[in-house]
């Protein structure tokens, strides 16, 4: 598992920046860290800015990650804005992950830019 996770506290949400190798172990590892950070801080909205090198994960691996983590995520994290900044990765794969997670009760949206993700999160936290 080779990655680096940086956490930036923002008004109303946590912004996670992850870099490293795009492997199943990396994605599972950083998602577990994000879950733990949200549990510890009580912050339930997150922006995940992922820039992992290497090919996209296989569609079966994407399904496995999106469906396996959903049960534990829902009580802790209420909103996830997700941006994959690696232009080599197929955005359609990320939309598939969104569909799988949403059908399991996770409020997640995939974005093609950090600014769009930030706007969505800020709109959700206004008045809270």
Confidence at residue 116, expressed as pLDDT on a 0 to 100 scale: 97
- Tens of pLDDT, residue by residue over 29-82, are 999 999 999 999 999 999 999 999 999 899 999 999 888 877 778 789 999 999
CATH for the stretch 3-110: 3.30.750.24
Q: What is the pTM of this model?
A: 0.92
d(CA 107, CA 33): 19
Rounded mean pLDDT of 72-95? 89
Confidence at residue 88, expressed as pLDDT on a 0 to 100 scale: 87
Mean pLDDT of the chain: 91
98-121: buried (b, 16+ CB within 10 Å) or exposed (e) per residue? bebbeebebbbbbbeeeeebbeeb
d(CA 5, CA 87): 20
Domain ranges of the chain: 3-110
Is it the case that residue 1 has pLDDT exceeding 80? no
At 23, is the pLDDT very low, low, confident or very high (cuts 50, 70, 90)? Answer: very high
Rounded mean pLDDT of 81-102? 91
Confidence at residue 126, expressed as pLDDT on a 0 to 100 scale: 59
Give the H or E element holding residue 104.
none
Place of tokens 């359609």: 92
For the chain, where are the alpha helices, taking DSSP H only? 24-41, 59-68, 70-73, 91-102, 114-125
39 closest CA partner among 3, 73, 89, 85: 73
d(CA 12, CA 116): 16
């Amino acid at each position: 598992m080779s990655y680096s996770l940086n956490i930036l506290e923002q008004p109303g949400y946590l912004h996670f920046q992850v870099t490293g190798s795009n492997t199943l172990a990396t994605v599972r590892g950083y998602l577990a860290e994000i879950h733990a950070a949200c549990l510890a801080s009580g912050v339930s909205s997150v922006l995940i800015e992922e820039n992992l090198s290497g090919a996209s994960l296989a569609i079966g691996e994407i399904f496995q990650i999106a469906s396996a983590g959903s049960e534990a995520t829902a009580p802790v994290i209420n909103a996830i804005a997700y941006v994959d900044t690696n232009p080599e990765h197929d955005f359609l794969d990320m939309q598939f992950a969104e569909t799988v997670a949403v059908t399991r009760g996770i409020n997640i949206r995939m974005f093609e830019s950090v600014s769009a993700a930030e706007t969505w999160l800020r709109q959700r936290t206004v008045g809270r």
